[in-house]
Amino acid sequence: MKVLKDVEYGKDEAQRYDVYIPDNKGFKTIIGFHGGGLISGDKADENYAEVAASFARRGYCFVSVNYRMYPSAKFPQFIEDCAKAVAHAKGNIEKWGGSGEIIISGQSAGGYIALFLCFDRHYLADNGVENKDVSAWVIDSAQPTSHFVVINREDGFDGKRQIIDKHAPLYYVDENVDFSRMLLIYYENDMVCRAEQNMLLFKAIRAYNQTAELEAVKLSGGHCAGSCIKDENGEYPFVTVALEFLNK
């Protein structure tokens, strides 16, 4: 495995990503966005680095993306950053030895961003990437309703409120919803309403697209435990479940 640190995809210090390149050639590439409520988190945090390395050891390239967050950024700049990172990474995959196939993933706030890229297609399209260019979406405990930090920072609302407006990926699920395939992961003891939010997203997609390749999986533990806490075998359950889905 080879690791490229702090690849620049923009001029801001936050616009950097790390690339975990497997030893094999012709690999698929996962582009992942960290969590942290849009106010914290970093690609170099121990569990994000270990998750990325776990995929690389199993033959997948993993691009771990940093993006601007509050207070230096606001909606939708973090989404725009991640779209830009996807395009930049996609343009370099074959140089690194990859097949060109990309998968988009995100944990918590990063999953919220990933869902936006999937459902509100202009973010990727503005950077020359089409929805059909993404072969799979792997989402770890995302908030598909309006993110509690966004509605608090942008609108001054109580973060406990359940709102579906322009700040919600769900707002963009309509008769045009279409994607390659998607895995939604949530947890037994997840954040308040997070399980219900994910099942609402699942059923909303199904209401418009009965044939979408869509799976929802509940894992044990608290919020994002599968990508933060290793199991008794020293593995991250998120990685195990994601690989089962991707390798089908």
Per-residue pLDDT tens digits for 96-127: 999 999 999 999 999 999 999 999 999 999 99
Whole-number Å distance between alpha carbons of 38 and 18: 19
Per cent of the chain over pLDDT 70 is 100
Determine the angle formed by the axes of helices 46-57 and 237-246, rounding to 10 degrees.
40
The pLDDT assigned to 217 comes to 98
Per-residue pLDDT, averaged over 24-28, amounts to: 97
pLDDT in tens, 164-181: 999 999 999 999 999 999
The average confidence (pLDDT) of the chain is: 97
pLDDT in tens, 49-75: 999 999 999 999 999 999 999 999 999
Whole-number Å distance between alpha carbons of 187 and 238: 11
Per cent of the chain over pLDDT 90 is 100
**Structural domains in the chain plus CATH codes:** 2-246 (3.40.50.1820)
The pLDDT assigned to 14 comes to 98
Q: Give the pair of three-digit tokens for residue 143.
A: 């908030």
Whole-number Å distance between alpha carbons of 192 and 110: 18
pLDDT in tens, 184-229: 999 999 999 999 999 999 999 999 999 999 999 999 999 999 999 9
The pLDDT assigned to 166 comes to 96
Residue whose token pair is 């990933």 = 114
The answer to whether 212 and 205 are in contact (CB under 8 A) is yes
Q: Give the pair of three-digit tokens for residue 236.
A: 């991250």
Whole-number Å distance between alpha carbons of 109 and 34: 7
The pLDDT assigned to 120 comes to 98
Cβ count within 10 A of residue 203: 10
The pLDDT assigned to 88 comes to 98
pTM comes to 0.98
The answer to whether 62 and 97 are in contact (CB under 8 A) is no
Per-residue pLDDT, averaged over 31-53, amounts to: 97
